[in-house]
C-alpha cells in the first residue's frame, strides 16, 4: 500500500465564506478519527479569501476511498451545493 496525498480546494460562493469555513472545520475531527488518515489540515488562502484548501495524507488509496464513503463526507457533499462555487480535488503520489 502506497501513501497518497490529496489537495482539496473549495471556493465559497460570494457571501458564504464564514459558513463554508464552519462546515469544513466540522469535517476535521471525524476525519482525523478515521483509519488510515496521516494528515488532514484546513488552510485559508491569504490572496483569495473565498478559497479553502485541505492538505491531506492517507496511508493508501483504499483508506482515501473509505473516507470518501464516510457518512460525514456524504452529508458534506449534499450541504456543499449551497456554499461552494467551485471545487477541485487532486490525488497525488509523492515521487521525490
* pLDDT (tens digit per residue) in 62-77: 999 999 999 999 999 9
HSE toward the beta carbon, residue 36, CA cutoff 13 A: 17
Query: Tell me, what CATH number does 38's domain have?
Result: 3.30.70.100
- State mean pLDDT over 5-32: 98
List, in sequence order, every residue forming a beta bridge with 88; answer none if it has no partner.
9
Average pLDDT, the chain: 97
| Contact predicate 6/92, CB 8 Å | yes
Tell me the average pLDDT across 14-37. 98
pLDDT confidence band for 1 (50 / 70 / 90): confident
Count of the separate structural domains present in the chain: 1
Q: Could you tell me the residue range of the domain that residue 17 belongs to? A: 4-92
- Under DSSP, is residue 81 helix (H, G, I), strand (E, B) or coil? coil
Residue 53 has pLDDT above 90, yes or no: yes
Q: CA geometry: angle at 14 spanning 32 and 89, to 5°?
A: 40
Amino acid at each position: 500500500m502506497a501513501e497518497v496525498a490529496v489537495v482539496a480546494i473549495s471556493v465559497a460562493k460570494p457571501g458564504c465564506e464564514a459558513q463554508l469555513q464552519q462546515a469544513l472545520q466540522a469535517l476535521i475531527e471525524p476525519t482525523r478519527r478515521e483509519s488510515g488518515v496521516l494528515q488532514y489540515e484546513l488552510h485559508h488562502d491569504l490572496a483569495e479569501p473565498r478559497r479553502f484548501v485541505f492538505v491531506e495524507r492517507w496511508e493508501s488509496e483504499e483508506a482515501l476511498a473509505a473516507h470518501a464513503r464516510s457518512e460525514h463526507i456524504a452529508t458534506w457533499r449534499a450541504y456543499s451545493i449551497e456554499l461552494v462555487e467551485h471545487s477541485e480535488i487532486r490525488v497525488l503520489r509523492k515521487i521525490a
